[in-house]
Amino acid sequence: MKQLAIFLLLFAYSLISKVSKAPVTKPEKQAKAITEYPKGYFRNPLDIPIKLAANFGELRPNHFHMGLDIRTNQRENLPVYAAAEGYVSRIKIEQFGFGRAIYITHPNGYTTLYAHLNEFYTPLNNYLKEKQYSDQQWEQEVEFEPSQFPVTKGQFIAFSGNTGGSAGPHLHFEIRDTKTGNNLNPWLFDLGLTDNIKPTIFRLYLYDRRYSTYQTSPVSIPISGINGNYSSASGVVTLRSPEVSFGISAGDKIHPVSNYYGIYEADISVNNTLKSAFKLNDFSYTDTRYINASIDYKTRLSGGSFIQHLSRLPGNYSLIFSQDGDGKILLTDTLVHGAEIVVKDVAGNTSVLKFKFRWDRSATNELTLAGQSVSMTPERENTFKTDDIEAVFSSRAFYDTVPFVYKSAPATDSKVVSQIHYLHNHTVPVHDSFTVRIKPSASLAKEDKEKVVMQLVSNRKTEVVKGTWVNDWMEAKFRDLGIVRLLVDNVAPRITATGFVNGGSVRNKKSISLLVTDNLGELKSFKALLDGSWLLFSRKNDSFIHTFDERTSPGRHELVVTAEDLAGNVSEKTFTFNR
């Protein structure tokens, strides 16, 4: 693009990398709060045999899967039962995430979670609806005392569903340590699951660790083998670097389902010395984003496979690794060395990959890095700044050194009121939120300034934030690198009736629905008044649904719907219907 301006290091932009005031300490061993798991204490939360759609620790975008996804035969409204005695300690209702969820705290120190539910059991459902009307708020998160909603083992608590971020009917089930909040692998509690199939190792990958994993691409090493015994398909693996690490792509089958699930543990030894090991026993929700350091994020976001590192990146503070050291292999000789990778599933089925490697000193070359960049390093605060943009990253933001590249371009859309800023690219993960400050390209009228939002485009994800004005700069926070800009939004949301006709009859309908869309895809609020009184609507993406109950009597009604977007644009629409 001819108008694209590339700001070169030392001339057009400055990057300040400073040591964090409170340096983080890397954990040396996996914390083991629990070493024994009660067998048979928890029952299957469904009445049908457990068949998994996903297991614990499975690799997902930005997180490890934190429980078991139990198939419901592609149906909704299967009865869900309390896995053990206890009390309902919390419920949560949200548009995304778990949708409708129940938390049950048990007297043995554990809490179970049941998510993507439809209706709760009657006393709890009645309490929820009354609170929603009292608060005039559909989304809820409510905690309870032990005496309010006690349950017995096997008691009906809800119907299964497809609510929240669910992509299909299933029950998401978790077991947590009540005291720490850590999620534990439910398989370890003997829920009646069996597995006699060994994990499959698909591929071996080699990394040149003289450089950042974001500067290079892995070398794929073909392997061969059957029945859990694997080896390099090409004999001795030649290394072109004296400093390397390895990764694998692997999966596990569980009878009778044919798809692959995630593995449970893996380790690598060189010359019979353990170099690195991880085990997926438990996670904290605050740490689950470290999956982006545990996989080759750049390869995955570029369309490749999930590759799991058999080493700890410098900024990976996850506790899944149980071995001291970072798993990198440092060579000072050109001898042939033996390596063994052991992969296990949670049932103990084991597969082994054995191979040999040697460093070819004569084939070692320095890597030529393309493009102008500057290093942003892990375990340090990093600040990037030009005349019209500033980005501030914490000491935990990056897992490995980032060859950060910045570009900018003038806007061609009249609604865009800043330069278009390219903050590196989406193939490098950021662990926690970073602050972005952008200066508009020109002074803004007061009415336009009030309608400005900051937009980030990262791969196929678009995020819009109503930032804060600080000295004529807009400030906002994001967790992905990509393209950022300021734009003026004067377009109000659009409200459309779906499934019923304005002015018509709904006597034979159980519900009515509305489609509410916004040009930037983000709503700040939604409100519906039936004959002047607040009316409860649930939400799934852009659809808002009201299920009729005793609050809507027979006769003619007026429904007034108001929607507001992040920029403050408001739409109001009035519907009438007969019931």
Tens-digit pLDDT profile for residues 416-468: 999 999 999 999 999 999 999 999 999 999 999 999 999 999 998 999 999 99
Tens-digit pLDDT profile for residues 501-533: 999 999 999 999 999 999 999 999 999 999 999
Tens-digit pLDDT profile for residues 230-269: 999 989 999 999 999 999 999 999 987 888 999 999 999 9
Give the C-alpha separation, 500 to 490, whole Å: 29
- Report which secondary-structure segment, H or E, holds 342: strand 337-344
Is the model's pLDDT at 28 over the cut of 70?
A: no
Instruction: Over range 217-231, report the average pLDDT.
Output: 95
Task: Please state the domain extents for the chain.
Answer: 5-18+380-488, 52-189, 200-363, 494-578
Tens-digit pLDDT profile for residues 130-160: 999 999 999 999 999 999 999 999 999 999 9
pLDDT of the residue at 364: 85
494-578 maps to CATH 3.30.230.70: no
Instruction: Over range 546-559, report the average pLDDT.
Output: 93
Q: How confident is the model at residue 228 (pLDDT cuts 50, 70, 90)?
A: very high
pLDDT of the residue at 365: 82
Q: Are 571 and 527 in contact (CB under 8 A)?
A: no
Give the C-alpha separation, 215 to 71, whole Å: 41
Which two tokens mark 554?
A: 């027979």
Is the model's pLDDT at 22 over the cut of 60?
A: no
Tens-digit pLDDT profile for residues 481-501: 999 999 999 999 999 999 899
Give the C-alpha separation, 326 to 80, whole Å: 43
Tens-digit pLDDT profile for residues 357-377: 999 998 888 877 666 678 899
Give the C-alpha separation, 209 to 246, whole Å: 10
Q: Which amino acid is at 62?
A: N
Give the C-alpha separation, 506 to 518, whole Å: 27
Q: Are 192 and 50 in contact (CB under 8 A)?
A: yes
Tell me the percentage of the chain whose pLDDT exceeds 70: 93
Tens-digit pLDDT profile for residues 383-405: 999 999 999 999 999 999 999 99
Instruction: Over range 544-548, report the average pLDDT.
Output: 95
Give the C-alpha separation, 179 to 370, whole Å: 50
Tens-digit pLDDT profile for residues 310-326: 999 999 999 898 877 79
**Spatial CB neighbours of 204, under 8 Å, sequence gap ≥ 6:** 220, 221, 222, 223, 232, 246, 247, 248, 341, 353, 355
Give the Cβ contact number of residue 126 at 10 Å.
Answer: 11
The model's pTM is 0.91
pLDDT of the residue at 258: 83
5-18+380-488 maps to CATH 2.60.220.30: yes
Tens-digit pLDDT profile for residues 33-83: 456 789 999 999 999 999 999 999 999 999 999 999 999 999 999 999 999
Closest to 171 measured CA to CA, from 67, 25, 96, 274:
67
Helix %, strand %, coil % of the chain (to 5): 5, 45, 50
How far apart are the two ends of the chain, measured CA to CA in Å? 59
CATH fold of 200-363 reads Immunoglobulin-like (2.60.40)
Task: Report CA Rg, the chain.
Answer: 27
* 156 three-state secondary structure: strand
Is the model's pLDDT at 356 over the cut of 60?
A: yes
pLDDT of the residue at 366: 81
pLDDT of the residue at 455: 98
Give CATH for domain 52-189: 2.70.70.10
pLDDT of the residue at 371: 61
Give the C-alpha separation, 216 to 214, whole Å: 6
Q: Which alpha helices (DSSP H) does 370-455 contain, by range?
A: 446-449
Closest to 468 measured CA to CA, from 490, 433, 437:
437
**Strand pairing class (219-221; 200-208):** antiparallel
Is the model's pLDDT at 5 over the cut of 60?
A: no
pLDDT of the residue at 327: 92
Rounded alpha-carbon distances, angstroms, from residue 456 to 359, 460, 477: 44, 11, 10
Is the model's pLDDT at 1 over the cut of 90?
A: no
pLDDT of the residue at 16: 43
Q: How confident is the model at residue 2 (pLDDT cuts 50, 70, 90)?
A: very low
Give the C-alpha separation, 152 to 109, whole Å: 16
Q: Let me know if the fold of 200-363 is the same as that of 494-578.
A: yes
Closest to 243 measured CA to CA, from 274, 213, 273:
213
Q: Are 472 and 452 in contact (CB under 8 A)?
A: no
Closest to 78 measured CA to CA, from 190, 140, 159:
159
Closest to 69 measured CA to CA, from 261, 312, 355:
261
